[in-house]
């Protein structure tokens, strides 16, 4: 069953076009020959995500996204925890709009769920190419 939901944790509600982002997520999943299952997008603060990073991954640093993968065969299920603080800071650092950086990070998490990795330099390059491709394809 296809179900994409948006949540806020430890932050006020942010202005995001949920129907458009939902459509983009569905497009990416379908383009990668997978089935959209249940996906939760949880927008949160730096501190909330740092706590998650320490508790679940034993990493002691800030990050923009943590992806929890509950994929079953070709059905994409997962939770994307996204730091709105990191998105805002990175948007400034890379001189892009907040919404573009937000889409890039969401697409990054979805690409992890459909099977892409970013552990090596080659994988990071491939991931960035896919992010750029979908940023161009889904306006």
CATH code at position 130? 3.40.390.30
CA distances from 128 to 6, 51, 105, 111, 117 (A): 24, 27, 11, 10, 11
Please give the chain's pLDDT, 139 residues, in tens. Answer: 569 999 999 998 898 999 999 999 999 999 999 999 999 999 999 999 999 999 998 889 889 999 999 999 999 999 999 999 999 999 999 999 999 999 999 999 999 999 999 999 999 999 999 999 999 998 7
Give the residue numbers spanning the domain of 23.
3-137
Tokens of 30: 């379908």
pLDDT of residue 1: 53
pLDDT of residue 58: 86
pLDDT of residue 2: 65
pLDDT of residue 57: 86
Domain count of the fold of the chain:
1
Question: Taking the model in full, what pTM does it have?
Answer: 0.94
Tally helices (H) and strands (E) across the chain. Answer: 5, 4
Find the DSSP H helices in 7-83: 18-31, 46-57
Neighbouring residues of 18: CB distance < 8 A, sequence distance ≥ 6: 6
């Amino acid at each position: 069953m296809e179900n994409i939901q948006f949540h806020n944790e430890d932050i006020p509600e942010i202005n995001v076009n949920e129907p458009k982002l939902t459509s983009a997520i569905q497009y990416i999943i379908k383009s990668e020959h997978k089935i959209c299952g249940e996906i939760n997008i949880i927008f949160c603060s730096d501190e909330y995500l740092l706590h998650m990073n320490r508790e679940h991954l034993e990493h002691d640093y800030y990050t923009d996204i943590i992806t929890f993968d509950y994929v079953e065969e070709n059905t994409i299920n997962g939770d994307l925890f996204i730091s709105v603080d990191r998105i805002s800071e990175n948007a400034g650092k890379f001189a892009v709009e907040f919404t573009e950086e937000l889409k890039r990070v969401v697409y990054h998490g979805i690409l992890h769920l459909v099977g892409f990795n970013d552990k090596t330099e080659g994988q990071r390059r491939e991931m960035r190419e896919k992010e750029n491709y979908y940023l161009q394809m889904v306006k």
